[in-house]
């Protein structure tokens, strides 16, 4: 009964006129961002963080969440019509979706993507409502040692699931941890890595790093790829699925939803890992495996269900444990901190309207997305043809205004530009920036929990291994790190990421 009461509270919160408008704005913007190749939800949310300062916390998080899962819908449009995924999680969709479009079945492919995404989003929203409360209750029993070990496990998992070499991923995490400790030490009052610059005494603002690395860095990288865009499908018809089509996609959608929900919870997983895994699973299970890559409708249904389920399932560790499982969740935690909310299990008990309102808004947002994607498909098709060189100047101006508004200083704008160049360099060196962002977010929190644990144990680090839950998580972290260092598993991991690229 308590669950139903909480859901009613969430529906009441999410269905207020203001929150409905912000939800609509979020999913519409997310769809547009997904449609336009090269932007992505991480860059967009990073750019919009300054705008959330003046919004109520519930409205801000509902809008940002809508951008995230809305981008999973929109990314399939360009993957199917242009063979250029607007979102990394839609790369697999392009394999069969574009082939279907070339054969005159673009409408069928788009309808399959929309239906699979809506089903997955609905099921995952129910799973969040069911499993978040017990997980939060467990998390409330965590002490400083358990939280520190959990964060170590999260960072190790992000190394395993990051693209590129393990050494690069480890280096990015260390770099993020170092960035996170810039500023004045709370306990001693000593300035660390500030280089006697007053602007760095309070540390590096999260928004500056996110907008620079994911916003400007993404723009620089995308300017090199504009020539790859080629609109080949200008008209879409036949959005209705036949009974045979529905029968063919039913099982793949269910399996993709389940797999995406499981993998979405993993640190570093989320939508992209889910979509690739679902496609590989369907290809192995299908009786018509030879058709995959040649226009198989199952090859669109499974990854689209998985990427939406993975995107929404990644909210579970963020909302209940305060641990980001991917860069977008790290940005969401940044938005919560900006609003003065401490991420973690206490959110559910201290601010139930925020937690349950966000959960309820996910189902409402998914319903809105079905309406936005199918009837307005002609509008999205026209958006694909917008030249990127007309978009990026406006994006840069928006970034500069947003960062300047943080403290009304040009230093922050220059700093953002520096991180933009750094983000572009990371991409050139094939160093994925996601582990760095996770390290930057978790670094100060890890330091705080480690200090608390040592204070409670009178300076003995043995507290990390004598408490059962903490020791178990550290053992898992060591086992995961050791296993991927084995030559056979390391080679297999590299082969998987080569296939994705």
Q: Cβ distance 334 to 327 under 8 Å?
A: no
Tally of CB atoms within 10 A around 364: 21
Least confident span in 66-75, 263-272, 326-335: 263-272
Residue 24 has a pLDDT of: 92
Q: Cβ distance 144 to 465 under 8 Å?
A: no
Helix (H, G, I), strand (E, B) or coil at 458: coil
**Token pair of 324 as six digits:** 């980001």
**Cα–Cα dist 468/486, whole Å:** 27
Tens-place pLDDT, residues 60-85: 889 988 888 887 777 777 777 766 66
**Token pair of 490 as six digits:** 């390391």
Residue 500 has a pLDDT of: 47
Q: How sure is the predictor about 290, in pLDDT bands with cuts at 50, 70 and 90?
A: confident
**Cα–Cα dist 84/222, whole Å:** 12
**Cα–Cα dist 281/290, whole Å:** 14
**Token pair of 9 as six digits:** 């509270």
- For residues 377 and 190, which has the higher predicted lDDT (pLDDT)? 190
Return the DSSP state at 191.
Answer: E
DSSP structure string for 117-151: HHHHHHHHHHHHHHHHHHHHHHHTT--HHHHHHHH
Residue 499 has a pLDDT of: 47
Residue 343 has a pLDDT of: 77
Q: Cβ distance 361 to 9 under 8 Å?
A: no
Tens-place pLDDT, residues 372-419: 776 777 677 677 666 667 777 877 887 787 778 777 788 888 988 999
Q: Which range, 86-100, 153-167, 298-312, is most confident? A: 298-312
Least confident span in 90-94, 349-353, 488-492: 488-492
Cα radius of gyration (the chain):
22
> CA-based diameter of the chain, in Å?
70
Residue 22 has a pLDDT of: 92
Domain range summary for the chain, segments of one domain joined by +: 1-497
Can you give the pTM of this predicted structure?
0.71
**Nearest partner of 67 among 37, 36, 93, 40, judged by Cα:** 40
**Cα–Cα dist 425/442, whole Å:** 23
Give every CB contact of residue 67 below 8 A, 6+ residues apart in sequence. Answer: 26, 27, 29, 30, 33, 41, 44, 45, 48
Residue 18 has a pLDDT of: 92
Residue 83 has a pLDDT of: 67
Q: Cβ distance 361 to 23 under 8 Å?
A: yes
């Amino acid at each position: 009964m308590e669950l139903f009461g909480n859901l009613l509270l969430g529906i009441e919160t999410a269905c207020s006129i203001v929150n409905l408008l912000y939800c609509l704005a979020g999913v519409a913007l997310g769809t547009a961002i997904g449609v336009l190749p090269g932007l992505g939800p991480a860059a967009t949310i990073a750019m919009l963080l300054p705008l959330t300062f003046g919004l109520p916390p519930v409205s801000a998080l509902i809008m940002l969440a809508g951008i995230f899962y809305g981008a999973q819908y929109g990314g399939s449009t360009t993957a199917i019509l242009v063979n250029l995924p607007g979102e990394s999680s839609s790369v697999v969709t392009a394999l069969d979706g574009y082939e279907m479009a070339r054969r005159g079945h673009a409408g069928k492919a788009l309808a399959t993507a929309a239906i699979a995404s809506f089903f997955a989003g609905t099921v995952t929203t129910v799973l969040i409502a069911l499993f978040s409360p017990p997980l939060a209750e467990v998390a409330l029993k965590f002490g400083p040692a358990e939280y520190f070990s959990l964060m170590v496990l999260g960072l190790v998992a992000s190394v395993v699931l990051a693209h590129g070499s393990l050494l690069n991923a480890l280096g990015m995490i260390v770099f993020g941890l170092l960035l996170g400790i810039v500023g004045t030490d709370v306990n001693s009052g000593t300035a660390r890595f500030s280089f006697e610059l007053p602007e760095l005494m309070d540390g590096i603002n999260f928004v500056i790093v996110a907008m620079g690395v994911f916003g400007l860095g993404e723009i620089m990288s995308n300017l090199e790829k504009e020539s790859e865009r080629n609109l080949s499908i200008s008209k879409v018809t036949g959005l209705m699925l036949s009974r045979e089509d529905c029968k063919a996609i039913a099982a793949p959608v269910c399996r993709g939803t389940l797999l995406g929900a499981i993998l979405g919870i993993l640190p570093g997983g989320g939508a992209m890992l889910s979509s690739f895994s679902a496609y590989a699973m369907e290809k192995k299970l299908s009786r018509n495996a030879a058709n995959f890559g040649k226009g198989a409708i199952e090859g669109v249904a499974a990854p689209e269900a998985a990427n939406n389920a993975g995107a929404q399932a990644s909210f579970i560790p963020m909302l209940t444990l305060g641990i980001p499982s991917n860069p977008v969740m790290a940005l969401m935690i940044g938005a919560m901190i900006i609003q003065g909310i401490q991420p973690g299990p206490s959110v559910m008990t201290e601010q139930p309207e925020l937690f349950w309102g966000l959960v309820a808004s996910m189902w409402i947002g998914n319903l809105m997305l079905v309406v936005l994607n199918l009837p307005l498909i002609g509008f999205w098709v026209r958006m694909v043809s917008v030249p990127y060189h007309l978009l990026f100047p406006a994006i840069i101006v928006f970034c500069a205004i947003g960062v300047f508004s943080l403290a009304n200083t040009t230093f922050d704008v220059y700093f953002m530009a520096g991180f933009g160049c750094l983000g572009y360099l990371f991409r050139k060196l094939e160093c994925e920036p996601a582990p760095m962002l996770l390290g930057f977010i978790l670094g100060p929190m890890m330091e705080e929990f480690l200090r608390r644990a040592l204070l409670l144990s009178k300076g003995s680090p043995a507290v990390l291994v004598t408490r059962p839950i903490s020791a178990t998580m550290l053992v898992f972290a060591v086992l995961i790190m050791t296993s991927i260092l084995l030559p056979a598993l390391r080679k297999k991991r590299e082969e998987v990421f080569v296939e994705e690229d």
